[in-house]
């Protein structure tokens, strides 16, 4: 028995790897269970270590090549900068979460947190002072260093300038006399023309000589001084944190929900007094109106949620949600119509022109069309019952369902419908005649034939289609979000491109990896599903 | 009128302009509770004949009757076992049979269905493979599942298309016995295609040869007046059995040769020459060559 259990564990792990398509790690598992170690090591080297080395080499190449290309948004970021931008995004999102919980804190907890935050703020303030001093020091060091480097060059430059200027004045007086001589007919005009040309050439030459020095100075100025950069970054980081702590302080005190609620309740009590003491009808009416307003305010405050800024994680969540909505829409349209087309040649003939015409249409066109159509459905989205309904569902309400999500989903669905539809139709149409004969002998009715024979037999192809669809959707979605500024990863990329801060470029590359990784995971998910519906035990193409 | 009848039926495939007639002028009468075996060469149209009986194929001319009624479409009362098994690959062994049982015995409760299905799975010795999918089974196992599915429907007419061709001798004889038992007990009518003359003689009341295609048709049947139960062990000693066996075998050989002759006539008329026997001469030459070779090798070895 004790010998059997490890075997079982091993095979269940291997099975898992097989189903999820990570067979690359097979030898690792087998090695861990001491199965033919030589063979495992060999295939490990071949299919895991060599690829890892290759990837490492690519990353190395990136690291070397990237800084050599200067762009208007700075250098192309190296991997370490991309990683730090990922970390910055992570910090930002964590801070948003902290602020949210601060906003909702109440009673003793709130006061305790407030104390802690204030303590931290004091600590950071001293730290900032120290760091700023350090920064000033570094700045002066840098200044003196660059000055000492620049001043000899500048002296040379000034001398050169002086020389050039003198030469030029000499030449222009020469030209003046020449022109007088030409006017009086003493000399031919060719000499004057030559002199003018010569002057121009010499001037340009002089400028060229000057610009060599200027470039040198410029290079020294733009040369980054590492300690200074570091000092600046450290100051910025602490200043940032202090800013954050200040916000927290706000959310723990006057902007806190329970505090605001408390205040409004106090006001209400006061208002109650005012109302009961009011003398004439006019005053009563006025006070009563104010009373109602306050009561409403309390009602709103009680359910108020923290309005979180869009962090990258929220964008990811929203994009994935949109893709799933689009996917469900596409599947709901494609599968029934695909089955119909596969079953009925006339239906196929009717739909073929539509499929052929609309399949190649660019997602951008669909996006614009749906933007217009969806916009018309929801003239006032804030109070539309459809969106109010979504806002009342937990988890989904944090995603901010709005018309732009709907039309993004529609666009995505429109582009994804075709592969699913065509594959479903193909799956249904190519059903084995033998299987249909079984249905005929058993005299299955239409419904049974559909559910027991046709759909199961076409499922593998249906899922192949759905897998392609999901891949298309993910690609289209990012573009659609970028184009329509609908919240999501696409918008994240677009915003970064627009705002051009020092980390923008790194953020875009970070988003590129995030998009790729999620696309990969979505595809893997579909592979697993495909495995479950495939009945002939065949492998699924990765 | 007999129980199951084919009257002057012809079946062809392909478009009108280029139609290949597979069966032509088929006449067949099978009595109730009769066991008929059909033998014929590969590609002659046996499976097509089965499809015709099952109602999966409609004849170009002529007609098929069961119990006096014309057969126009397939039905579970004529249970056909397909030559290529036609198991549904997405269903397990159990589910494949269950689908048929549920459809035929609509009044059965869940437990009854289960008992029924398992009974037939046990009959073909596949209980260990109940939860397996067809692609996990061997060819012979699949054939047995297909047989179990057909038998489980308890059809009035069993149409078995080479039901035992993929099985080993022992399994085969066991299942032959099962089929005979079912046929006798439940008073069924069986039409079975087989390539095995012994099997046909062991099981059938009548053996009908199908001539070579195209335009295949049923030839004069061989009656098998052997007593039942027939015992494999003693059957070989039975004079009648041996006689029938020789008759059928020679019939088949003759049919084969005739068809060859028919074919060669259409191709070319060969000159009438008898080949000289070179075998003796060649073999001597070969021997000589060998000896020479060996000699040469020896010489080389010495030199090396
Ligand atoms: N659907 C079809 N379309 C065209 N031709 C067919 C079709 N089905 C069978 N045929 C032809 O009919 C002929 C007889 O086929 P059939 O399957 O009945 O042979 P068979 O006697 O069962 O052979 P085997 O013993 O190999 O199973 C063959 O020549 C085949 O090419
Ligand atoms: Mg056949």
**Tens-place pLDDT, residues B111-124:** 999 999 999 999 99
Residues A426 and A355 in one domain: yes
Both tokens assigned to A260 = 């605001």
Task: List the single range of A18-22, A292-296, A320-324, B108-112 with lowest mean pLDDT.
Answer: A18-22
Residues A57 and A151 in one domain: no
Residues A133 and A193 in one domain: yes
User: Which of chain B's residues have a Cβ under 8 Å away from the Cβ of A435?
Assistant: 86, 88
Residues B109 and B201 in one domain: no
Neighbouring residues of the ion ligand 2, judged by CB less than 5 Å: B 46-47, 83
> Could you tell me the residue range of the domain that residue A59 belongs to?
4-68
Residue nearest to atom 24 of ligand 1 (CA): B42
What residues of A are in the B interface, CB distance below 8 Å?
A: 434-435, 437-438, 440-444, 448, 452-453, 456-457, 459, 535-537
Residues B53 and B165 in one domain: yes
Q: Which of A16, A43, A68 is the endpoint of a domain? A: A68
Q: How far is CA A123 from CA A96, A113, B77, in A?
A: 22, 15, 91
The shortest C-alpha distance from B96 to chain A (Å) reads 10
Residues B140 and B174 in one domain: no
Q: What is the DSSP string of A389-400?
A: HHHTSTTGGGG-
Does residue A122 lie in a domain region? Answer: yes
Residues B87 and B73 in one domain: no
Does residue A60 lie in a domain region? Answer: yes
CA–CA dist B20, B10 (Å, integer): 11
Residues B13 and B55 in one domain: yes
A488 and A477 in contact (C-beta within 8 Å)? yes
CA–CA dist B172, B163 (Å, integer): 9
pTM for this model (two decimals):
0.79
**What pLDDT is stored for residue B273 in this prediction?**
59
Residues A325 and A399 in one domain: yes
Residues B177 and B262 in one domain: yes
Q: How far is the CA of B220 from the centre of ligand 2 (A)?
A: 21
* ipTM of this predicted structure: 0.82
Does residue B299 lie in a domain region? Answer: no
Residues 6+ apart with CB under 8 A from A194: none
A302 or A408, higher pLDDT = A408
User: For ligand 1, is residue B84 a contact (CB within 6 Å)?
Assistant: no
A83 and A91 in contact (C-beta within 8 Å)? no
Q: How buried is residue A296: exposed, middle or buried, by Cβ count under 10 Å (0-12/13-18/19+)?
A: exposed
Q: Looking at the partner chain, which of B56, B84, B103 has a beta carbon nearest the beta carbon of A442?
A: B103
CA–CA dist A32, A363 (Å, integer): 48
User: For ligand 1, is residue B53 a contact (CB within 6 Å)?
Assistant: no
Mean pLDDT of chain A: 89
Both tokens assigned to A421 = 């539809």
At A184 the three-state DSSP class reads coil
pLDDT above 70 covers what percent of chain A?
Answer: 98
Residues B138 and B22 in one domain: no
Q: Which of A223, A245, A272 is the endpoint of a domain? A: A223
**What pLDDT is stored for residue B266 in this prediction?**
54
User: Which of chain A's residues have a Cβ under 8 Å away from the Cβ of B76?
Assistant: 441-443
**What pLDDT is stored for residue A391 in this prediction?**
76
A439 and A449 in contact (C-beta within 8 Å)? yes
pLDDT band at B283 (very low <50, low <70, confident <90, very high): very low
CA–CA dist A14, A30 (Å, integer): 8
Residue-wise pLDDT tens digits, A271-309: 888 888 888 888 888 888 988 998 888 888 888 888 888
Does residue B216 lie in a domain region? Answer: yes
Residues A126 and A58 in one domain: no
Residues B51 and B190 in one domain: yes
Q: Per the structure, how many domains does chain B have?
A: 2
Does residue B226 lie in a domain region? Answer: yes
Residues B202 and B131 in one domain: no
The three-point CA angle B120-B125-B129 to 5° equals: 95
Over 70: is that where the pLDDT of A219 sits? yes
Residues A121 and A208 in one domain: yes
User: For ligand 1, is residue B143 a contact (CB within 6 Å)?
Assistant: no
Residues B65 and B164 in one domain: yes
Q: Which of B137, B154, B171 is the endpoint of a domain? A: B154
Does residue B285 lie in a domain region? Answer: no
Residues B109 and B131 in one domain: yes
CA–CA dist A493, A478 (Å, integer): 9
Residues 6+ apart with CB under 8 A from A501: none
- Sheet of B20-30: strand order equals B20-30, B4-13, B61-66, B69-70
Residue-wise pLDDT tens digits, B215-269: 889 989 999 998 888 888 888 888 899 999 999 999 998 888 887 777 665 545 5
Q: Which of B132, B154, B176 is the endpoint of a domain? A: B154
Does residue B210 lie in a domain region? Answer: yes
What's the CATH code of the domain at B248? 3.40.50.300
The three-point CA angle A54-A58-A59 to 5° equals: 115
> Could you tell me the residue range of the domain that residue B109 belongs to?
83-154
Residues A62 and A130 in one domain: no
Task: List the single range of A70-79, A208-217, B119-128, B224-233 with lowest mean pLDDT.
Answer: A70-79
Over 80: is that where the pLDDT of A363 sits? yes
Contact call for A452 and B99, based on CB within 8 A: yes
Does residue A85 lie in a domain region? Answer: no
Q: Where are the alpha helices (DSSP H) in A253-344?
A: 257-277, 281-303, 312-343
B53 and B6 in contact (C-beta within 8 Å)? yes
Q: Per the structure, how many domains does chain A have?
A: 3
Tell me whether strands B189-193 and B69-70 are parallel, antiparallel or unpaired: unpaired
Q: Is the dihedral of CA B76, B78, B81, B83 positive or negative?
A: negative
Residue-wise pLDDT tens digits, A464-514: 999 999 999 999 999 999 998 888 999 999 999 888 777 888 999 999 999
Does residue B15 lie in a domain region? Answer: yes
Over 60: is that where the pLDDT of A438 sits? yes
Contact call for A441 and B76, based on CB within 8 A: yes
Residues B69 and B204 in one domain: yes
Count CB neighbours of A462 within 10 A.
25
């Amino acid at each position: 028995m004790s010998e059997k259990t490890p075997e079982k564990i091993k095979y269940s792990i291997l099975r898992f790897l097989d189903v999820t398509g990570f067979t690359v790690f097979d030898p690792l598992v087998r090695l861990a269970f001491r199965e033919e170690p030589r063979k495992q090591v060999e295939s490990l080297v071949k299919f895991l270590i060599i690829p890892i080395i290759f990837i490492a080499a690519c990353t190395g190449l990136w690291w070397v090549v990237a800084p050599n290309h200067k762009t208007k948004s700075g250098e192309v970021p190296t991997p370490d900068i991309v990683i730090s931008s990922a970390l910055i995004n992570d910090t930002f999102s964590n801070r948003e979460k902290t602020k949210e919980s601060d906003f909702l804190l109440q009673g003793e907890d709130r006061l305790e947190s407030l104390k802690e935050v204030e303590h931290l703020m004091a600590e950071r303030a001293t730290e900032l002072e120290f760091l700023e001093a350090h920064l000033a020091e570094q700045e002066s060091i840098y200044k003196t260093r660059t000055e000492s480097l620049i001043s000899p060059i500048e002296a040379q430059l000034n001398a050169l300038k002086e020389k050039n200027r003198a030469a030029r004045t000499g030449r222009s007086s020469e030209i003046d006399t020449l022109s007088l001589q030409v006017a009086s007919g003493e000399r031919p005009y060719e000499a004057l023309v030559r002199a003018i040309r010569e002057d121009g050439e010499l001037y340009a030459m002089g400028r060229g000589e000057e610009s060599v020095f200027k470039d040198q100075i410029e290079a020294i100025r733009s040369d980054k001084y590492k300690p200074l950069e570091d000092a600046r970054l450290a100051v910025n980081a602490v200043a940032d944190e202090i800013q954050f702590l200040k916000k927290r302080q706000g959310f723990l005190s006057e902007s806190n929900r329970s505090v605001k609620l408390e205040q409004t309740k106090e006001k209400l009590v006061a208002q109650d007094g005012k109302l009961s003491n009011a003398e004439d009808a006019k005053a009563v009416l006025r006070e009563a109106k104010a009373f109602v307003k306050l009561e409403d305010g309390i009602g709103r405050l009680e359910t108020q949620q923290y309005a979180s800024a869009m962090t990258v994680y929220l964008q990811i969540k929203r994009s994935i949600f949109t893709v799933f909505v689009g996917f469900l829409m596409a599947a709901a349209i494609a599968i029934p119509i695909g089955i119909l087309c596969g079953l009925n040649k006339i239906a196929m003939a009717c739909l073929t022109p539509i499929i052929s015409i609309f399949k190649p249409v660019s997602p951008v066109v669909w996006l614009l069309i749906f933007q217009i159509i969806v916009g018309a459905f929801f003239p006032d989205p804030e109070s539309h019952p459809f969106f109010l309904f979504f806002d009342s569902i937990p988890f989904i309400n944090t995603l901010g369902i709005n018309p732009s999500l709907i039309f993004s989903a529609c666009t995505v669905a429109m582009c994804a419908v075709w592969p699913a539809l065509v594959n479903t139709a193909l799956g249904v149409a190519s059903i084995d005649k033998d299987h249909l004969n079984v249905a005929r002998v058993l005299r299955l009715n239409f419904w049974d034939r559909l559910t027991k024979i046709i759909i199961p037999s076409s499922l593998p192809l249906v899922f192949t289609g759905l897998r392609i669809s999901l891949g298309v959707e993910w690609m289209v979605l990012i573009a659609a979000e970028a184009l329509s500024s609908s919240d999501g990863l696409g918008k994240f990329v677009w915003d970064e491109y627009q705002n051009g801060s020092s980390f923008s470029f790194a953020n875009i590359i970070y988003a590129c990896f995030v998009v790729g990784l999620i696309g990969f995971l979505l595809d893997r998910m579909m592979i697993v599903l495909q495995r479950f519906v495939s009945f002939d035990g065949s492998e699924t193409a990765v | 009128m007999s129980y199951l009848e084919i009257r002057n039926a012809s079946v062809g495939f392909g478009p009108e302009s280029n139609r290949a007639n597979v069966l032509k002028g088929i006449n067949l009468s099978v009595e109730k509770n009769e066991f008929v075996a059909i033998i014929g060469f590969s590609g002659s149209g046996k499976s097509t004949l089965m499809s015709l009986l099952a109602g999966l194929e409609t004849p170009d001319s002529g007609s098929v009757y069961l119990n006096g009624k014309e057969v126009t479409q397939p039905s579970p009362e004529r249970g056909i076992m397909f030559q290529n098994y036609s198991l549904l690959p997405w269903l397990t062994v159990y589910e494949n049979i269950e689908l048929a049982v549920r459809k035929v015995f609509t009044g059965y409760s869940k437990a009854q269905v289960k008992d029924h299905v398992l009974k037939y799975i046990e009959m073909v010795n596949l209980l260990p493979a109940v939860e397996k999918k067809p692609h996990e089974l061997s060819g012979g196992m699949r054939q047995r599942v297909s047989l179990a599915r057909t038998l489980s429907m308890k059809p009035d007419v069993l149409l078995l298309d080479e039901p035992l061709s993929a099985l080993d001798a022992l399994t085969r004889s066991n299942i032959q016995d099962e089929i005979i038992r079912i046929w006798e007990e439940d008073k069924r009518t069986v039409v079975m295609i087989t390539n095995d003359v012994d099997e046909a003689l062991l099981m059938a009341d009548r053996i009908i040869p199908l001539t070579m295609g195209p335009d295949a048709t049923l030839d004069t049947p061989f009656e098998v007046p052997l007593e039942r139960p027939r015992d494999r062990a003693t059957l070989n000693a039975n004079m009648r059995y041996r006689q029938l066996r020789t008759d059928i075998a020679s019939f088949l050989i003759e049919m084969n040769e005739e068809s060859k002759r028919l074919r060669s006539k259409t191709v070319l008329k060969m000159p009438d020459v008898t080949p000289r026997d070179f075998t003796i001469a060649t073999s001597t030459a070969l021997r000589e060559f060998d000896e020479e070779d060996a000699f040469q090798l020896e010489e080389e070895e010495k030199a090396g």
